[in-house]
């Protein structure tokens, strides 16, 4: 007679059936995942009842925390009234009309306020749509050769074939036969890693711009359709560009008639202390992608802003063939629209952006406290997003050997102390707490990080 089966834990059931994204698939087979079962404000709770400050807002996205009842109620109401409808073939519904109008009113530039928004389900899809529109637009205006897209080292734009190709992170390309043709790569505006000795921020920005201009000259401006950039590079290490960088880059793009796509999937809706990172860094994009905090991640939803000049050219081209041949089954899904509308209402009613501006100094000071730590090479932040970059020798900017996994070790120690963070390439530890975090919670976040950093230094130097 067979012995009775031993009941599996929740983690074991997960590993047995779940193909995990962005994970070492062999490692997780023996190192059980952290199983989160509940959320409460800025904290999440695992299946053993342990509580954690979610220092990354999940994946840069849970801006209103993990227990905002108004968003749950908005979703419930919408599911009871109109759980699904589409926007294909001359159809629409009330909530997609309302959220479109609201989003356009919040656009960071007049060019986008005169344009349109097109909806998808994720930042990856929004950026992928932007790449398709680069092609569609230039075909429509009689410049079919302007198809290449320039992206940056350490950029992150998603995981579709096109957007993973744009992303400048090697692990996203290995074994996938990426990047695809038509993607060009230019320098990353990270002075700590890439500035030459004695080079000022302004000089470094000028050199980045010169490298872009040289790339355009080598490829031919008549073959380049767009340049895509995150105002703050997120997954590449929370890289805040130096002053003058974007002004110099934008001047070159305008000179050569190259579109600017602002990837605001992380920075849109308050993260930098303004509605958009484009406000913070004075960008004038032709297209702008947004997702994540548009619904506080309570429902999958994304929006691509398209300037009027691009929209009008696309509209003329669609008329010539009878249809604009792009869209998703769930484009403008009523659930996402309803949750987005309620999220935007909460941002305004509670002055969430004002709150970000109020607590950002405390957040930035809490991180800056570690700038002189013997294992920290660089600290950087804007609004409520930042990074502490570890270094083997801070004076010479020498990083740790990646094989040692120092950043990953620190993140595990932080988790043991009830703080969830994320280690990026180069051992940059990212911080991106919910926008509702207060100063007392910021102090607790920093205290838990300090414990983890102290333990990591003892391990790394031991």
What are the tens digits of pLDDT across the range 371-393?
999 999 999 999 999 999 999 99
| Structure-block tokens of residue 50 | 């342990």
pLDDT of 88 reads 97
CATH fold group of domain 82-349: 3.40.640
Q: If pLDDT is split at 50, 70 and 90, which confidence band does 1 have? A: very low
User: How do residues 408-428 score in pLDDT, each as one tens digit?
Assistant: 999 999 999 999 999 998 899
Q: If pLDDT is split at 50, 70 and 90, which confidence band does 189 have? A: very high
pLDDT at 212 over 70: yes
More confident residue, 366 or 32: 366
Q: Bin 223: left if φ > 0, else alpha if -120 < ψ < 50, else beta.
A: alpha
Pairing of strands 385-390, 376-382: antiparallel
Instruction: State the average pLDDT over residues 214-235.
Output: 98
User: How do residues 76-133 score in pLDDT, each as one tens digit?
Assistant: 999 999 999 999 999 999 999 999 999 999 999 999 999 999 999 999 999 999 999 9
Q: Which residues pair with 148 in a beta bridge?
A: 224
Q: If pLDDT is split at 50, 70 and 90, which confidence band does 462 have? A: confident
Give the residue from 157, 352, 329, 217 showing the smallest Cα distance to 273: 352
pLDDT at 299 over 70: yes
Give the residue from 294, 205, 210 showing the smallest Cα distance to 247: 205
Instruction: State the average pLDDT over residues 394-409.
Output: 96
Check: CB of residue 273 under 8 Å from CB of residue 231.
Answer: no
Q: Give CA separation, 241 vs 234, 245, 261, 289, in Å.
A: 12, 6, 16, 19
Q: What's the CA gap between 195 and 189, in Å, rounded?
A: 9
pLDDT at 6 over 70: no
CB atoms within 10 A of CB 107: 21
| Structure-block tokens of residue 203 | 């000089």
Check: CB of residue 342 under 8 Å from CB of residue 330.
Answer: no
C-alpha 113 chain-centroid distance: 22
Q: Give CA separation, 115 vs 226, 264, 304, in Å.
A: 18, 17, 11
Check: CB of residue 302 under 8 Å from CB of residue 99.
Answer: no
Q: Which residues pair with 422 in a beta bridge?
A: 430
Instruction: State the average pLDDT over residues 313-324.
Output: 96
C-alpha 212 chain-centroid distance: 23
- Look at the alpha carbons of 252, 254, 258, 263 in this order and tell me if their dihedral is positive or negative: positive
Percent of the chain with pLDDT over 70: 98
pLDDT at 4 over 80: no
Write the CB contacts of 124 (distance below 8 Å, at least 6 apart in sequence): 157, 158, 159, 160, 163
Domain residue spans of the chain: 10-68+352-461, 82-349
pLDDT of 7 reads 62
pLDDT at 5 over 50: no
What is the CB-side half-sphere exposure of residue 412 using CA atoms within 13 A? 10
Q: If pLDDT is split at 50, 70 and 90, which confidence band does 8 have? A: confident
CATH fold group of domain 10-68+352-461: 3.90.1150
pLDDT at 253 over 90: yes
pLDDT of 348 reads 98
| Structure-block tokens of residue 80 | 């009871």
Percent of the chain with pLDDT over 90: 97
Check: CB of residue 408 under 8 Å from CB of residue 387.
Answer: no
Say which DSSP state 395 is in: G
Instruction: State the average pLDDT over residues 285-300.
Output: 98
pTM comes to 0.97
What is the radius of gyration, based on Cα positions, of the chain? 23
User: How do residues 130-179 score in pLDDT, each as one tens digit?
Assistant: 999 999 999 999 999 999 999 999 999 999 999 999 999 999 999 999 99
> Could you give the angle at the alpha carbon of 181 between the alpha carbons of 180 and 183, nearest 5°?
85
Q: Bin 250: left if φ > 0, else alpha if -120 < ψ < 50, else beta.
A: alpha
Write the CB contacts of 365 (distance below 8 Å, at least 6 apart in sequence): none
Q: If pLDDT is split at 50, 70 and 90, which confidence band does 243 have? A: very high
Position of tokens 């089954």? 329
3-state helix, strand, coil in the chain (%, to 5): 45, 15, 40
């Amino acid at each position: 007679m067979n012995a009775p089966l031993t009941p599996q834990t929740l983690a074991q059931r997960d590993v047995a059936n779940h193909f995990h994204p962005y994970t070492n698939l062999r490692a997780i087979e023996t190192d059980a995942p952290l199983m989160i079962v509940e959320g409460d404000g800025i904290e999440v709770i695992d299946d053993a009842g342990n509580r954690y400050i979610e220092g990354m807002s999940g994946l840069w996205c849970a801006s209103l925390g993990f227990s905002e009842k108004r968003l749950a109620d908005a979703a419930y109401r919408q599911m009871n009234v109109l759980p699904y409808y589409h926007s294909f073939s001359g159809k629409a519904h009330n909530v997609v009309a309302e959220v479109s109008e609201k989003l356009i009113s919040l656009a960071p530039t007049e060019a986008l306020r005169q344009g349109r928004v097109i909806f998808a389900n994720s930042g990856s899809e929004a950026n992928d749509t932007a790449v398709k529109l680069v092609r569609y637009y230039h075909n429509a205006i009689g410049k079919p050769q302007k198809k290449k897209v320039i992206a940056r080292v350490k950029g992150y734009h998603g995981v579709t074939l096109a957007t993973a190709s744009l992303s400048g992170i090697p692990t996203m390309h290995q074994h996938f036969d990426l990047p695809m043709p038509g993607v060009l790569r230019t320098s990353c505006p990270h002075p700590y890693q890439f500035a030459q000795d004695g080079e000022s921020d302004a000089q470094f920005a000028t050199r980045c711009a010169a490298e872009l201009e040289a790339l355009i000259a080598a490829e031919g401006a008549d073959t380049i359709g767009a340049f895509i950039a995150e105002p703050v590079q997120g997954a590449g290490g929370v890289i805040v560009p130096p002053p003058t960088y974007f002004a110099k880059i934008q001047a070159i793009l305008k000179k050569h008639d190259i579109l600017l796509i602002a990837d605001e999937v992380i920075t849109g809706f308050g993260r930098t202390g303004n509605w958009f990172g484009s406000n913070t860094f004075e960008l004038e994009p032709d297209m702008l992608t947004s997702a994540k905090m548009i619904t506080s991640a309570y429902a999958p939803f994304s929006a691509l802003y398209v300037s009027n000049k691009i929209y009008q050219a696309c509209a003329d081209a669609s008329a010539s063939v009878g249809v604009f041949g792009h869209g998703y089954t769930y484009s403008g899904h009523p659930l996402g629209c309803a949750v987005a509308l309620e999220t935007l209402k909460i941002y305004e009613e509670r002055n969430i952006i004002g709150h970000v501006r109020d607590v950002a100094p405390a957040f930035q000071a809490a991180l800056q406290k570690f700038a002189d730590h013997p294992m920290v090479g660089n600290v950087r932040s804007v609004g409520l997003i930042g990074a502490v970059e570890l270094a083997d020798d801070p004076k010479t900017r020498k990083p740790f050997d990646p094989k040692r996994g120092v950043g990953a070790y620190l993140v595990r120690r932080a988790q043991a102390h009830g703080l969830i963070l994320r280690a990026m390439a180069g051992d940059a530890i990212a911080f991106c707490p919910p926008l509702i975090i207060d100063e007392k919670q910021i102090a607790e976040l920093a205290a838990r990080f300090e414990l983890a950093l102290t333990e990591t230094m003892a391990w790394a130097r031991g």
